Amino acid sequence: MQLIQNNPYRQLGLLVGATARQENNHKTKINQYLDAENEIPAQYVEYGFGCLGEIERTTETISSAMANLTLGKDRISSALFWFWNGNPITDEAAFDALREGDIETAFQIWDKLITETNEDGKRYWKPVTLKNFSAFHNCSIINLIKSNGNLQNAVVGKLYFLQSDFIDNFISTVVDGTHKTSSKELQLLFLNQLHSEIEKHKTISLEKFIKILTAHEFVAKQDFLKVILEKPINQIEQKIEFAKNARKVNKANGAKAAQELFDSTSNALIQLKSIISSNDIKYTSIADKIANEILQCSIDYFNEEQDLDSNVDYIETAMRLAQLADKIAIGSLTKDRIRDSIETLEEMKDREISRAIDFLESVKEAYETNERQIRAEIKKIEQTDILIRTGQRTINWSAVEDNIKNSIDWQKVNELLVEILSDKNLKKIKESDDAEQKKAFLELMNWVKGNSLRSSTISTIIDKYKKIPPKLPFKILSSYITNTDKESKSLPETNPLYKKHTRYVGIKINVECYENKTITIYKKYIGTNGKLSFNDKVSPKGYTNSTIATINTNTKVIDLSGWGNPNSCTYEIGKHRIELYVDEFMIHSKEFIVDLAPSEKLEIELKKADDRLKEIKNTDYYKSELETANSEMNEIQEFHLFRSSSTKQNQILEQQRKIESIQNKARQEKERLIEQQNKIIYKIKSDIQNAEY
């Protein structure tokens, strides 16, 4: 710290309290040795304490040091940052340690005099007394200069000393009796110098320095903090003026000027709040000035863009700036002004959807009114027309329905639809946060589509609307399929999903959220046949189901409930897909496969193997060969002319042996195949027992 290292007293090798004669003597002797380019004897620089860091002595620095000790205030300023022998009994021992280069011993000597440690190991300040008041002063300097010094203790210890009843002892050794100063003046002198040093060399942040001061009470506290406040307040006011001028030059630049004002003053406001509370008049005043200027930038920007019929989303930008202003504002008048502006912007934001709904409702209302009137007329005719009542004439109901549909000028309706539901307005409607309004809007559009005689226009508009991406409050990072039972307990996680374990299949999406919001997410379950799964009683029209998700900036996962049956799997074997929609727009899709579990597949194999075993057992092997042999036997046994009895008998015996041989081969083949099939069945049963699923 330069206040200590280049201190005038250190230049002269003296302690605070040295007489004018000593100061002149040291100046003369040191300059003589410097002029002669000889080493300065220790007796003239011994209290310069070389262990505290290098010091350059020249005739110029010595003359400057003497000049800085001429006036009373300068002497006190220098004395506040150099050592003072206020108690020779204790201070001399510490000075001896410093002369020997032992900074830590000197620190311990003074620290023990001003602090104590209780049984819990906590350190406390001792009261300032006649025996230790100079130790408070000297220990503060050690803490400021040594590498592992404690700045908080340095500042607090010095302030305790400067607020004590012993400062007159200090002052009287520095200046003569004609110089008068108070405890507050000494504190301000100390803090201002220290603050300048900190600002210049950035040794610590201003916030940390202020935090140290605000934690303690001292007489100069408010006066010093007031001076500290001036710099950030002046900087903020300059930024406000800059934004105001930029806005006035070109109102279209209001949004940029407001954002820059917010960005450039945020740290200064934080700094102010660390110095004074947010309830302080100075803080509320400057905060409200910033908020009011940001709001005015928002208003001017909105008006300018609206006058230009701009294609940019100026309402959203103006709203964002108004919300920034609301974060800063403190005063009720400023808060009310901002709130009014936000409410107006909210109304403007939903102006397009409100206008569209009003028009669509008017079309529907006119249609239904015409329909009621036409049907009432027909009912009256049914009741009064004799020919109809007697069955001689009937009402052409097809013509009645045509009259109802033609009761509206659909060409004019379509012209107005194109005007009101332009691409630009459809985008604004899609970006509206009013879910109920958007739901009503879509229902009315579908009603018009279903009742219009010229539905191509509304169909095109609906298709355009569906293709517009919604303004989501989150970004989807990834997703994974879930599978739960009727009690929402997770079932085994397998890929593919095994049919025997599959019940309610859902999806969780990992997200990065930007704002707090409630949003409805619709789901479509598309099966292996490409068809939508739904339930007439509970499914939203065109979807399988939906989930209302409440999210905030801390939300990481959105859990979308499953679809299925609590008792059995409703999903066919094959590939399925879940599609997620917001405002008719698909925001994500995820495929999943349902398959038989290994054990299920083995059960099917076992059934086939059992059936094969039965087939083997019921099969007559070598049947055709045996039938041929038996046929030959029958032929042999018949009467043949000129064949002797012995020849016949030999032929019969030979054929019998042939038949028996075929029978043995058939039996052996069946036994072989049965044994082989039993081994296959045993293997399948063993695999079933060992199967995990």
The pLDDT tens digits of the residues spanning 646-659 come to: 888 998 999 999 99
- Degrees (nearest 5) of the Cα angle 569, 573, 577? 85
> Which range among 193-207, 331-345, 493-507, 533-547 shows the weakest confidence by mean pLDDT?
193-207
The CA-atom distances, in angstroms, between 410 and each of 363, 364, 419, 457 are 9, 12, 14, 10
| Of the candidates 404, 641, 575, 594, the residue with the CA atom closest to the CA atom of residue 499 | 594
Q: Are 196 and 77 in contact (CB under 8 A)?
A: no
On the CB side of 127, CA atoms within 13 Å amount to 3
**SS3 category, 166:** coil
Q: What is the pLDDT of residue 333?
A: 94
Q: Are 151 and 144 in contact (CB under 8 A)?
A: yes
Q: What is the pLDDT of residue 5?
A: 92
With tokens 């110098």, the residue in question is 193
Q: What is the pLDDT of residue 268?
A: 84
DSSP state of 540: P
Q: What is the pLDDT of residue 178?
A: 78
Q: How confident is the model at residue 322 (pLDDT cuts 50, 70, 90)?
A: very high
Helices (H), 250-350: 254-275, 281-307, 314-328, 332-349
Q: Which two three-digit tokens encode residue 395?
A: 């009402």
Q: What is the pLDDT of residue 346?
A: 84
The pLDDT tens digits of the residues spanning 533-566 come to: 999 999 998 999 999 999 999 999 999 989 999 8
- Asked if the model's pLDDT at residue 280 lies above 90, the reply is no
| 643 φ/ψ sector (left φ>0, alpha ψ -120 to 50, else beta) | beta
With tokens 């210049």, the residue in question is 200
Query: d(Cα 363, Cα 377) in Å, to the nearest integer?
Result: 21
With tokens 């027909």, the residue in question is 378
Single-letter residue type at 351: R
Q: How confident is the model at residue 188 (pLDDT cuts 50, 70, 90)?
A: very high
Q: How confident is the model at residue 512 (pLDDT cuts 50, 70, 90)?
A: very high
Q: Which two three-digit tokens encode residue 622?
A: 């070598």
Burial of 590 (0-12, 13-18, 19+ CB in 10 A): middle
Beta bridge partners of 125: 115
Single-letter residue type at 337: R
Q: Read off φ and ψ for residue 525, nearest 5 degrees.
A: -100, 110
- Asked if the model's pLDDT at residue 666 lies above 90, the reply is yes
Q: What is the pLDDT of residue 8?
A: 95
Query: d(Cα 523, Cα 505) in Å, to the nearest integer?
Result: 12
Q: Are 187 and 96 in contact (CB under 8 A)?
A: no
**SS3 category, 478:** strand
- Average pLDDT over the chain reads 91
With tokens 């879940």, the residue in question is 578
The CA-atom distances, in angstroms, between 615 and each of 609, 622, 623, 664, 677 are 10, 15, 15, 19, 11
DSSP state of 489: P
Query: d(Cα 427, Cα 434) in Å, to the nearest integer?
Result: 14
Q: Which two three-digit tokens encode residue 87?
A: 């108690």
With tokens 């379509």, the residue in question is 414
Query: d(Cα 564, Cα 491) in Å, to the nearest integer?
Result: 13
Q: Are strands 497-498 and 585-595 parallel, antiparallel or unpaired?
A: parallel
Q: What is the pLDDT of residue 160?
A: 93
DSSP string, 44-113: HHGGG-GGG------HHHHHHHHHTTTSHHHHHHHHTTS-B-S-HHHHHHHHHHHHTT-HHHHHHHHHHH
Query: d(Cα 167, Cα 679) in Å, to the nearest integer?
Result: 107
Q: What is the pLDDT of residue 80?
A: 96
Burial of 491 (0-12, 13-18, 19+ CB in 10 A): middle
Query: d(Cα 4, Cα 51) in Å, to the nearest integer?
Result: 12
> For a pLDDT cut of 90, what percent of the chain falls above it?
69
Q: Higher pLDDT residue, 202 or 525? A: 525
CB atoms within 10 A of CB 26: 24
pTM metric for this prediction? 0.57
| Of the candidates 423, 382, 421, the residue with the CA atom closest to the CA atom of residue 400 | 382
Q: Average pLDDT, stretch 568-584?
A: 94
Q: What is the torsional sign of CA 365, 368, 374, 380? A: negative
The pLDDT tens digits of the residues spanning 1-27 come to: 889 999 999 999 999 999 889 999 999
> For a pLDDT cut of 70, what percent of the chain falls above it?
100
With tokens 């007329």, the residue in question is 377
Radius of gyration of the chain (CA): 49
DSSP state of 508: E
Q: Where are the beta strands (DSSP E) in 345-408?
A: none
Does the N-terminal peptide bond of residue 496 adopt cis geometry, omega within 30 degrees of 0? yes
Q: What is the pLDDT of residue 99?
A: 93
**SS3 category, 556:** coil
Query: d(Cα 407, Cα 263) in Å, to the nearest integer?
Result: 59
Q: What is the pLDDT of residue 336?
A: 95
Chain length of the chain: 693
Single-letter residue type at 85: N
The pLDDT tens digits of the residues spanning 433-473 come to: 888 898 899 999 999 999 998 899 999 999 999 999 998 99
Q: Are 472 and 425 in contact (CB under 8 A)?
A: no
